[in-house]
Amino acid sequence: MEPLLKIDHDTCTACYACVRACPVKALRVQTEQLKPVIMPERCIGCGSCTTVCGPESIRVKDSRAELKKLLQQPVKVAALLDPSIAGEFSDITDYRKFVQMLRTLGFDYVHEVAFGADLVARAYKALFTESRGKYYIMSIDPVTVAYVEKYKPGLVPNLAPVLPPVAATAKVVRMIAGEEVVMVHITPLIAGKAEIFRFSEDSRIELAITFIELRELFAEANIHETDLEYSDFDEPLGHRGSFFPVANGILQAAGIEEALDKTKVVTVAGRGIMDALNEFEKNINDIRSHFNLYYKEFLMGRGTSPGGMHILRRSQLIQYVNKRLKTLDKERWNQHMSRFADLNLTTQFRADDQSLPAPSASSLNRILKELDQLGSTEIGCGACGYGSCKDFAVAILQGLAVPEMCYTYASKNRQNHIQSLKVTNEKLALAQEALKKSEQLAQKEKEAAREASEIVRRMLHKLPSMVVICDMNLKIIQTNDGFIEMLGEDAREINEVIPGLTGADLKTLLPYNFYNLFTYVLTHNESITNRDIRHEGKLLNVSVFVIEKGKIAGAVIRDMSAPEVQKEEVVKRLTEVIDKNLSLVQQIGFIMGEGAAETERMLNSIIETYKLRQDLKDQ
């Protein structure tokens, strides 16, 4: 079901005026969304929030589309009209023109709720006369009823079990026009939209619209009194029940004594009804009176146009009623009252307790301390929407508010946040400077590594032996000119396009018995030294070494058919050269650091191989 009231967060400014205005604190504010949200289960429909919302962000449930759709259906529709029209539609010169405007809009029947008020007034007089020590709270005002059910559930048995005038009127109209007639209440109260859900069976009302919505519907349909003839209300017509939009009007309609020394009914209108109910709860045995309570006189209901003046509307209502009573057929009215004398107007109410548990003293003190208001619990600026700092702290603990709603707390936190941001910015500046230096150092190290890599590359190309390094997939990582020359013309052509044959597959360049040595070394993490292999008519001495286990392997290949290799002197010179190169390799390793370690290991393996052959020669 669509909620009665809802806040549009796109236009809400989070000023908390609605929180301040709500008499039951039916609005919740949470940290993740500092804009208030109306809780339908706690709302009593008074509409106080709508009148204080500057940006007009609080939306009332719109029933216009539903009514237009209803009036297009093949059913009979009756308008149940509150007598408050006299104050709202004072711009319409004659109420009979107003009735015709409703018929033109599409209503089949137009009944004033005044006759239902006459029946209800009679029921109240009988109830109070027959009351034996029990005191009642009159149940005409839906806001008062909702407040009692939700926030004074212990007083629900004291709500007078009498239907309100509109429900009584619905019963009458159904008896006259038939059960199939659809009822629409035209009301000055926002709460009237929610009240209709209380009624069922022959008192049911299908829809309620406010006076404001009715004005808009007249404008949309281009309906004006100047274009229409007179038309009166459908019977039965009301008598003094037409006064019930004024707080004590129902008492006058019932003929209940109002003189201070004789009356047994206390009438209170306005937000003072909350205090009145507190007194009823505590002191009724001493007060010994029934209570007639209106949160807002219907003349000034939240469903009327804003800006209306109370005394003026009251005067307009009195003039309207007096004019009608002059032409009322009193005898016919009495006949109607007799006809419906036995009409059952009783109803029941149920408690819907929405009160929240009171927090413990320790929790309350903790929140007050956090708000820095521990010593000023009974006072407060009210900006948060609560009467005192203590009330605000209670609301926080009940989940209805957040500390950020307090301007003092928010200002203090804002200053702390600014200081925190300042410190953070300073730390960030230092971090940025450190990062800049780190990047400069990393760049230098990168350049050094690039230089070292270039030195290793050049050195590999200067070695007389053939060298190749590959990865676990037998893809070439690095090689020298000697290895490329060994492979032949095709390899030299590829080398011109892809220097060093980087990425080439050894399996496409070497025979199986050759590249299988690399596969074995990478799989078993075990080096192979001095393995003789014939390749294209040449005897090659191959040594394959583990550079990085399971990932990288390198090979040194010598052409044993070369004349110099066969001579002892050549071996000696080679040994001397290798010994001298050992120092160079160590220097290169130092320059390259860990980046050249793999190449150094490979070169050391080469040196060890040659030393081994020299020792064998010497024996």
Which tens digits make up the pLDDT trace of 428-456? 888 888 888 888 888 888 887 777 767 76
What DSSP element (H or E) covers 515? helix 512-524
pLDDT at 373 (0 to 100): 66
Residue type, 158: N
Q: Same structural domain for residues 319 and 184?
A: yes
Length of the chain: 619
Q: Same structural domain for residues 478 and 582?
A: yes
pLDDT at 375 (0 to 100): 60
Residue 373 phi, psi (nearest 5) = -130, 30
Q: Same structural domain for residues 124 and 268?
A: yes
- In sequence order, what are the residues at sequence separation of 6 or more whose Cβ sits closer than 8 angstroms to the Cβ of residue 519? 474
- Tokens found for residue 427: 């730390």
Q: Same structural domain for residues 611 and 502?
A: yes
Q: What single DSSP character describes residue 464?
A: S
Q: Same structural domain for residues 9 and 97?
A: no
Give the bridge partners for 557, in sequence order: 466, 542
Q: Same structural domain for residues 28 and 108?
A: no
| Alpha-carbon span 555 to 560, nearest angstrom | 15
- In sequence order, what are the residues at sequence separation of 6 or more whose Cβ sits closer than 8 angstroms to the Cβ of residue 581? 603, 607
Picking from 120, 131, 156, the residue whose alpha carbon sits closest to that of residue 265 is 131
Residue 532 phi, psi (nearest 5) = -85, 130
Share of the chain above pLDDT 90, in %: 42
Q: Collapse the DSSP code of 301 into the 3-class scheme (helix H, G, I; strand E, B; otherwise coil) and give the result.
A: coil
- Residue 221, domain member (yes or no): yes
Q: Count how many Cα atoms sit within 13 Å of the Cα of residue 348 in the half-sphere of its side chain.
A: 3
Mean pLDDT, residues 289-303: 91
Number of domains in the chain: 3
Share of the chain above pLDDT 70, in %: 84
pLDDT, one tens digit per residue, over 230-251 is 899 999 999 999 999 999 999 9
CA distances from 117 to 26, 124, 140, 168, 199 (A): 31, 10, 9, 8, 16
| Alpha-carbon span 226 to 10, nearest angstrom | 41
pLDDT, one tens digit per residue, over 67-90 is 999 999 999 999 999 999 988 888
Greatest distance between any 2 Cα atoms in the chain: 151
Of 9, 32, 61, the last residue of a domain is 61
Q: Collapse the DSSP code of 615 into the 3-class scheme (helix H, G, I; strand E, B; otherwise coil) and give the result.
A: helix
- Residue 347, domain member (yes or no): no
In degrees, rounded to 5, the angle at the alpha carbon of residue 604 between the alpha carbons of residues 533 and 563 is 45
On whether the CB atoms of residues 140 and 349 are closer than 8 A, the answer is no
Lowest mean pLDDT among 262-271, 452-461, 467-476, 592-601: 592-601
- Tokens found for residue 405: 């709603």
Residue 47: which CATH number?
3.30.70.20
**What is the extent of the structural domain holding 487?**
453-618
Q: Collapse the DSSP code of 271 into the 3-class scheme (helix H, G, I; strand E, B; otherwise coil) and give the result.
A: coil
Q: Same structural domain for residues 52 and 82?
A: no
